[in-house]
Structure 1
């Protein structure tokens, strides 16, 4: 996947963003998992990801095995340790399976590192160049909330499958995709009173601007509450909502996440589609489980959001939620946690002009989450 510096001419969408890096998009998300081979099969079979590249014993990597999967512009890297001890084992022991690396595609990884570290970012990886017969990739990295890190990836001089150290992975099993296009946003859960600190980190260290904020009046039910702010880079390709708990009568989903993840981390990844009805149908048929809102949600939803292009009945049948802002409307649906610990889940989203995040659905959504919490005994 090669690019050139003309990529930098992306239109600036968020004028308030300093955008001094700048970022071209999400390069990949890396999860540390207990069994990468089996996790890869899950994301292929259930989610329609295609095999792309592999690193492990066969490529000379004696420390870990990594499987790279792709669907349109989304790249997942699933990594497991091959020996006891070490940082990957410690991460899995503490957090369970979870997102370790949110890798950001840049035109200049050295400059991205210098710009962020001089503004106070803690170094994770000093700039390094890795090469093979397909060219060069430059990597650098910084720490963010919890044990999550951002790796800056410069690949304009690389033409291989993924990056040096990986070989193409071409197994017989190559399932059909489910219509997922790109990462719309990634949500981070942080501890009590930490949201402001991390929003300031993204503003000062990375040049992001705040798109929108929600307080406990916007995001609350009879039992639980949370606060959220959405940070975006200048071209709008990278959006990071940051959530923190707020006082409620019972344990919120954020508190449950932090308890089981043992700290801050990536709560969910929102994946965009151009046809949410077809995508959700395919995912359900392959075993992906979604949260359900009561059917009464659909009795008044069109009074709230107005006319939409889709028939309401298939949306109701699949449990897809609808919301509108000044720019248009969106359709969204959330999976149940995809791991044994009630931590990470996915959102499927289709935007029909809307730039927002479904504020009108929060109450119905969080009541659905509370019903699941009650079943788990963690509410």
Structure 2
């Protein structure tokens, strides 16, 4: 996979960011899963991801198997162990299926490693080079919250399907894409009073800046609450909201996540589309389940957000939420957890100028999540 894009061409969108660590975008997100082959089938046929590459016994790898899928600029890697014990088994046993690595696309993986570790990041892996007939990829990595890691991937000298050690993967059965374009943001859940610690980590270690913050007055219902701050790199391509629990009458979604995930981790991945009605319709028709929003939400939504391009009825039928900020509006919807444990889920988002995160929808969203928690018996 080649590109001529460089960090020099990327406009700085968040002026407060130090940006000593130029990041071109998200390279891939790797999930450790119990059965990569079946998970790959789900993401291909329910979500419209396209098969790209494979690594396993047939490529000489004996400890794990990985499937690489892509849609638009979104690339996911699904990895399962093939031997007892070891890091992947321990991760799945403790957390269930979940995000292990958020890989960041950089010009210089060695420099990225040096910049972050010299500022206090704990090393996950020192820079190393993978090579094959298609060229070379340089990778390094650091630890972040929980057992989540960031990998720095330098691939300007590589032209293969994904990276050395993988071969092109093209099963006969494929499904059409659903209109997903890129990762808008990825949300991390951390424990009590840990939000500021990890926001400071992203500021100090990676040169990010805080875009916005929400307290328990912004994100609360009668029963539960949370706190959140959004950290961004300089060009705005990487946005990491960090959530922590806040005091409430009952157990919040963050506490539920941490209980079932057994620690901090990636709560949800927001995927962008240019046509949320079309995308969500396709996903729903393929069996993806979304949170239900009461019809009363739509009675005054246009009074709150003003004129929008879309007809209200299809948004209401699908349960798509609408919010506006000073720069425009956005449309968003959230899936139910996509795993047996009530942990990871996805957001589908369409931005029509807005750069915010749907503050006006928080109450409706939380009430929808609480209804699901109540059904699970975890809203206590």
Q: Give the TM-score category using the shorter length.
A: over 0.9
State the Cα deviation string for residues 240-278 of structure 1 (Å, max 9, x = none): 000000000000000000000000000000000000000
1:7, distance to aligned residue in structure 2 (A)? 4.1
SS at match of 1:23: coil
CA contact (8 A) 2:330 2:358 kept: yes
SS at match of 1:316: helix
Q: Equivalents in 1 of 2:211, 2:306: separation in Å?
A: 24
Q: Equivalents in 1 of 2:207, 2:7: separation in Å?
A: 18
- Paired position in structure 2 for 1:231: 231
State the Cα deviation string for residues 85-122 of structure 1 (Å, max 9, x = none): 00000000000000000000000000000000000000
Q: Equivalents in 2 of 1:248, 1:297: separation in Å?
A: 23
- Paired position in structure 2 for 1:293: 293
CA contact (8 A) 1:223 1:249 kept: yes
Q: Structure 2 matches for 1:232-251, cutoff 5 A? A: 232-251=232-251
SS at match of 1:129: strand
- Paired position in structure 1 for 2:19: 19
- Residues 376 and 16 (structure 1), Cα distance of their counterparts in 2 relative to 1, 3 Å cut: same
Q: Structure 2 matches for 1:26-45, cutoff 5 A? A: 26-45=26-45
Q: Equivalents in 2 of 1:303, 1:195: separation in Å?
A: 34
CA contact (8 A) 2:140 2:151 kept: yes
- Paired position in structure 2 for 1:337: 337
Number of corresponding residues: 379
CA contact (8 A) 1:3 1:157 kept: no
TM-score, normalization by structure 1: 0.99
Long gaps (5+) in structure 1: none
- Paired position in structure 2 for 1:75: 75
Q: Equivalents in 1 of 2:317, 2:4: separation in Å?
A: 45
CA contact (8 A) 1:290 1:333 kept: yes
State the Cα deviation string for residues 132-154 of structure 1 (Å, max 9, x = none): 00000000000000000000000
1:173, distance to aligned residue in structure 2 (A)? 1.0
| Deviant stretches of 4+, over 4 Å | none
- Paired position in structure 1 for 2:109: 109
CA contact (8 A) 1:81 1:88 kept: yes
State the Cα deviation string for residues 164-204 of structure 1 (Å, max 9, x = none): 00000011011100000000000000000000000000000
Q: Structure 2 matches for 1:49-128, cutoff 5 A? A: 49-128=49-128
1:8, distance to aligned residue in structure 2 (A)? 2.9
SS at match of 1:296: helix
Q: Equivalents in 2 of 1:162, 1:306: separation in Å?
A: 44
State the Cα deviation string for residues 289-328 of structure 1 (Å, max 9, x = none): 0001100000000000000000000000000000000000
Q: Note the aligned Cα RMSD (angstroms).
A: 0.6
Long gaps (5+) in structure 2: none
TM-score, normalization by structure 2: 0.99
Q: Equivalents in 1 of 2:100, 2:135: separation in Å?
A: 26
State the Cα deviation string for residues 31-62 of structure 1 (Å, max 9, x = none): 00000000000000100000000000000000
Q: Equivalents in 2 of 1:188, 1:230: separation in Å?
A: 10
- Residues 319 and 130 (structure 1), Cα distance of their counterparts in 2 relative to 1, 3 Å cut: same
SS at match of 1:38: helix
CA contact (8 A) 2:24 2:105 kept: yes
Q: Equivalents in 2 of 1:336, 1:309: separation in Å?
A: 27
- Paired position in structure 2 for 1:273: 273
Q: Equivalents in 2 of 1:9, 1:126: separation in Å?
A: 28
Greater shift after overlay, 3-12 or 271-280?
3-12
Q: Equivalents in 1 of 2:142, 2:221: separation in Å?
A: 36
